[in-house]
């Protein structure tokens, strides 16, 4: 419970970033945020961070559809995978990239199937259309895993200053 403030801040930051107009498609920090959080918050916390990040965003923006559940479950499972990957590994740029790039490719391979399964799109069209989308996604993952993930781990995940008990005690001292 004391770390729920960090989750709220993480979700809010990802949500607000995704609302930036004219942002390149698939250039978003959700995986880069899930990875450092997964190092500390276990299977359930890691799954929920990725899952709820998508569900809450879609609830406010586009509404829920088949894509919501596929992408939310996929990001949730990436969170679980990140937890197991980082469980006995250092939270370093190298490890964020080692996990992040293949995870992005796996995510895009799964979510590419949304069109063919739910909309009758041909697999060839989905695959060809996915290539530039995935290239942008890998670029985003590389940038965010290099710059954002280590900063989040150090300044948010490991910080005791961003916990309800600390915030509450500071507030009480000022009152």
Query: Residue 50's pLDDT is what?
Result: 93
Confidence of residue 9 (pLDDT cuts 50, 70, 90): confident
CA distance 66 to 121: 14
Angstrom distances, CA of residue 175 to CA of 22, 117, 161, 168: 43, 57, 18, 11
Q: Do residues 128 and 134 touch, judged by C-beta distance below 8 A?
A: no
Residue 103 has what DSSP assignment? H
User: Could you give the number of structural domains in the chain?
Assistant: 1
Query: Residue 160's pLDDT is what?
Result: 76
Query: Residue 158's pLDDT is what?
Result: 81
Confidence of residue 2 (pLDDT cuts 50, 70, 90): low
Q: Is the pLDDT of residue 128 over 70?
A: yes
Average pLDDT, the chain: 90
157: containing domain: 4-18+26-174
Question: Where is pLDDT greater, at 131 or 172?
Answer: 131
Confidence of residue 93 (pLDDT cuts 50, 70, 90): very high
Would you state the structure tokens that stand for residue 32, as one six-digit string? 């880069």
Range of weakest confidence among 65-69, 149-153, 163-167: 163-167
Over residues 87-109, the mean pLDDT reads 97
pTM of the model: 0.88
For residue 73, give the CATH number of its domain.
1.10.1760.20
Over residues 9-21, the mean pLDDT reads 89
Q: What is the 3-state secondary structure (H, E, C) of 50-100?
A: HHHHHHHHHHHCCCCCHHHHHHHHHHHHHHHHHHHHHCCCCCCHHHHHHHH
| 41-61 residue pLDDT tens | 889 989 999 999 999 999 999
């Amino acid at each position: 419970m004391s770390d729920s403030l960090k989750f709220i801040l993480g979700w809010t930051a990802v949500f607000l970033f995704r609302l930036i107009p004219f942002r390149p498609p698939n250039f978003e920090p959700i995986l880069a945020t899930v990875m450092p959080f997964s190092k500390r918050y276990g299977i359930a916390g890691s799954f929920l961070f990725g899952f709820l990040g998508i569900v809450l965003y879609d609830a406010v923006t586009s509404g829920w559809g088949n894509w919501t559940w596929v992408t939310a479950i996929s990001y949730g499972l990436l969170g679980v995978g990140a937890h197991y990957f980082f469980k006995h590994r250092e939270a370093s740029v190298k490890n964020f990239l080692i996990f992040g790039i293949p995870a992005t490719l796996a995510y895009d391979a799964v979510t590419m199937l949304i069109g063919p399964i739910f909309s009758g799109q041909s697999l060839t069209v989905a695959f060809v259309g996915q290539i530039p989308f995935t290239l942008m996604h890998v670029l985003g993952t590389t940038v965010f895993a290099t710059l954002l993930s280590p900063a989040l781990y150090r300044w948010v995940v490991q910080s005791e200053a961003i916990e309800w008990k600390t915030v509450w005690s500071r507030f009480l001292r000022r009152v």
